[in-house]
Amino acid sequence: MKTMIMNHYKKYPQMQLEDMIKLVYQQCFGPAHLYDIPSLETVTAYLEKEQKDFKDHKTTDTFEAIGNHYVRVSLRAIHDNTLPLDGLATMFYESMLTSPLMDAKTLMTFRQGLDTIIDLVEKKTIDYSLEDTLDFLNDYLEKGIRPIHHSEIYRQHYHPHYRVVHKEYISL
């Protein structure tokens, strides 16, 4: 996990702590969220809406491995006709259905990921304030482990528009 975090930190130097937490969350839990899984129709409709607003800034790869067999698939894949919209929607939906449960094992892996971030900050490998990092993580954990949004800085610099998909569902 340390290598994956560092690779993203180097690739996205404006990455903030919440972006790292999001990355670790996605690696551990895939596209699963804590609420009910929406229907394929709902997933497709939301993707259609987001695709209409998509502006390709070419700041991220079309396919970006994030570990644990998960890939961030940029909406660029639809934009440049690499994937049909309904194909990406189905891949995302199937990945949601088979995402790991939030059980003791995946929770431990997630916590280890957060500990890795703390270790990197303590060693000054990542240039974040240790006090701010610990405060943010404590606040995050007090509110419960959950998916979070990218930071505003990350959104401004990298314009992330993607779906997390398990690689077994990627069909080109």
pLDDT tens over the chain, length 172 residues: 999 999 999 999 999 999 999 999 999 999 987 557 789 999 999 999 999 888 777 777 899 999 999 999 999 999 999 999 999 999 999 999 999 888 999 999 999 999 999 999 999 999 999 999 999 999 999 999 999 999 999 999 999 999 999 999 997 6
* pTM score, whole prediction: 0.94
Distance CA 4, CA 67 (A): 7
Q: Counting Cβ atoms within 10 Å, is residue 55 exposed (0-12), middle (13-18) or buried (19+)?
A: exposed
Domain extents in the chain: 2-169
Type of residue at 43: V
Distance CA 153, CA 92 (A): 26
Helix (H, G, I), strand (E, B) or coil at 138: helix
**Alpha-carbon separation of residue 71 from 61, 91, 103, 143 (angstroms):** 10, 11, 22, 27
